[in-house]
Structure 1
């Protein structure tokens, strides 16, 4: 029987889908011809409601981040609230079962916490006996990722693996692969050639500013960049994602500034990361893992979102990023520019702590599930 992966993901934020796409690309390297299908779980279960659900989620994150952070911490461990979130209506499970019958996968993979919950519940009810794999896309041990009938957890770091052990996840169910990023991030590149290709000055200091797929870049930092405190050779590249309003606002703010580049959504962001000197971003799991893969030092927005705090704590402990409030970002950036030895140290630490070929390693672990029990630790 031909191996076929069904990857369930979600579009609440961009990282879950990016991890799923990384699995697709890595499977073409590991086993060309193997079928991998990615499905947005909420779109499949609620085809008419998923756009509204996504909009409400993003508005909540944007306007009530402190409430989101509070709820995240309150549900970090299993609780009555978490038990409700892990439940699915029977009709939703039957809808998911229709998908499984249609696609006939050999393994079920999740890069999205609600998908992990649904798959575990289906196995509990014996609606499926297929092997289920959860890929945790943040440096987090939040209880929404953890379910009794999950067969394998692929995690981003040794620390997360140890945290899962403390939550009584069996040793043989945990493998540290790194958070899966597209294989292109593991390819060697020449910064000078990339800058020439993209139209950037090879001799400049390039600052890449990203706010995730939804372009969450606030005004305080932008106002700080309008001053003349930065040298003339600094080039700023703002990636606004799908946030068209932000793109228009920044176009007005930086009108006439030749050292400011404005971009919308970029699918091949790896080239821009590989040719940058510093990345300023919110600490999403996928974006920061991509930066770590190309050894790009990071300045992280202060965030009240729980999983982003987990990521920021991990990255700052590793010495590959600094974390500060948006008001202080211009000063922090200037400090790093004036201390090249600090940037070099961060690049070296990123090189030591990154998980090379994480997506390929993840696919190999998934393919090996029918063999001997996987071994806990770095692969």
Structure 2
């Protein structure tokens, strides 16, 4: 009997933002659940190719985005199309390529999946050099396009929507290489939960309006939200859950509101039960990261987007607004107005909830996995 070839999938991600890593975990978990015979290996790309620069580089990136968002936004826009500037930047992404070649030689994957744009760039270069025969699959983790994701030796692109497919077509990516699956999210976000049981679990009132606030994996939360915690923006008493991610300093700062606010406050750092917090909440105030908003879409949780960073977050916000699943507060006055609408006008939330069914984001990781191993389209 002829031996059946076992697929081995190497998933390259990066923690320059939590979404890339979450999408990678979603694909890996889906493989373990649905196709256990597929072997998966999850690798932190930056740690692999830049082990000495990785930590400091990550810190510089995070601080740069927080403190100089306009510069980040300018570079993002400047390099969005394939042009001389974006092409000039790409050779710098090949630094450390010999470490990636060594990893591929040691692990011998049949498929390499990139949920991080720098990884997609390097794998394309390795294929160009003829040093791997593995299929190269890129998973775009935002609701938008950018040239940093697009490389000539990529075999398949997995995207979140027809809008992104069309955007890639305009950037001269062949349509047959693109598959629309939704942005992969972990299975926990695709299930149905008992809201009352979850509110009991976290000692929350079953009837009081509950707002979830998320600032991304690094807990970037603006001044307007601090005023919400101190009771200045709304008159009624709320239950407010604030997830600060990896920002321990922010968590400690916000905990002081617990004794002075008229609201019931639950402040957390990085947690692995975001799906439960989403399930028990009425709506979420968040920055529009690609994977976080994909998780909310899967949970059918209405969103109020606040002060997105220039670049992909602004693009994500525009997609979500156009899709009718989010409202957008650019200024503090907008935050107050939309908060009032969402709290006092049930029809606003009902309209948003009705729009979720058009986005088909549940079980996107399973559909993405089928594309990765060529079982589906």
Question: What interval of TM-score do these two structures reach, taking the shorter chain for normalisation?
Answer: over 0.9
Unaligned runs of 5+ in 1: none
**Residue 146 of structure 2 is aligned to residue 161 of structure 1:** no
- Equivalence for 1:325: 330
1:120-170 CA deviation, whole Å, 9 max, x = no partner? 111111111211000000011101101111000000000000111122211
TM (norm. structure 2) is 0.94
- Equivalence for 1:13: 17
- Equivalence for 2:344: 338
Where 1:37 maps in the other structure, the secondary structure is strand
> Which whole-Å CA distance do the structure 2 matches of 1:352 and 1:193 have between them?
28
Q: 1:199 to 1:82 in 2, by over 3 A?
A: same
Contact 2:6 2:37 in 1 (8 A): no
Q: 1:224 to 1:274 in 2, by over 3 A?
A: closer
Unaligned runs of 5+ in 2: none
1:286-328 CA deviation, whole Å, 9 max, x = no partner? 1000001011000101223211111101000011001112413
Contact 1:4 1:105 in 2 (8 A): yes
**Residue 321 of structure 2 is aligned to residue 306 of structure 1:** no
**Residues paired across the two proteins, number:** 371
- Equivalence for 2:103: 99
- Equivalence for 2:242: 238
- Equivalence for 2:61: 57
Where 2:11 maps in the other structure, the secondary structure is strand
Tell me how far 1:231 sits from its aligned partner. 5.0
Large movers: runs of 4+ above 4 Å: 88-91
Where 1:311 maps in the other structure, the secondary structure is helix
> Which whole-Å CA distance do the structure 2 matches of 1:279 and 1:118 have between them?
36
Where 2:374 maps in the other structure, the secondary structure is helix
Tell me how far 1:204 sits from its aligned partner. 1.3
Where 1:270 maps in the other structure, the secondary structure is helix
> Which whole-Å CA distance do the structure 2 matches of 1:321 and 1:116 have between them?
30
Contact 2:11 2:40 in 1 (8 A): yes
Q: 1:178 to 1:90 in 2, by over 3 A?
A: closer
> Which whole-Å CA distance do the structure 2 matches of 1:61 and 1:89 have between them?
19
Contact 2:218 2:246 in 1 (8 A): yes
**Residue 320 of structure 2 is aligned to residue 315 of structure 1:** yes
User: How do 1:1-379 residues align onto structure 2 when only pairs under 5 Å count?
Assistant: 1-88=5-92, 92-227=96-231, 230=234, 232-257=236-261, 259-328=264-333, 329-368=335-374, 375=377
1:236-264 CA deviation, whole Å, 9 max, x = no partner? 00000110110111112343446111111
Tell me how far 1:230 sits from its aligned partner. 3.3
Contact 1:293 1:351 in 2 (8 A): no
> Which whole-Å CA distance do the structure 2 matches of 1:33 and 1:264 have between them?
35
> Which whole-Å CA distance do the structure 2 matches of 1:200 and 1:357 have between them?
29
Higher mean Cα deviation, 224-233 or 59-68? 224-233
1:182-237 CA deviation, whole Å, 9 max, x = no partner? 01111111211221122221111110000011000122321244235535541000
> Which whole-Å CA distance do the structure 2 matches of 1:285 and 1:149 have between them?
25
**Superposition RMSD on alpha carbons, in Å?**
1.6
> Which whole-Å CA distance do the structure 1 matches of 2:208 and 2:369 have between them?
38
Contact 1:86 1:118 in 2 (8 A): no
Q: 1:113 to 1:229 in 2, by over 3 A?
A: closer
> Which whole-Å CA distance do the structure 2 matches of 1:342 and 1:251 have between them?
31
Where 2:281 maps in the other structure, the secondary structure is coil
Where 2:57 maps in the other structure, the secondary structure is helix
> Which whole-Å CA distance do the structure 2 matches of 1:319 and 1:89 have between them?
37
TM (norm. structure 1) is 0.94
Contact 2:94 2:122 in 1 (8 A): no
Where 2:96 maps in the other structure, the secondary structure is helix
Contact 1:30 1:364 in 2 (8 A): no
Where 2:91 maps in the other structure, the secondary structure is coil
Contact 1:278 1:296 in 2 (8 A): yes
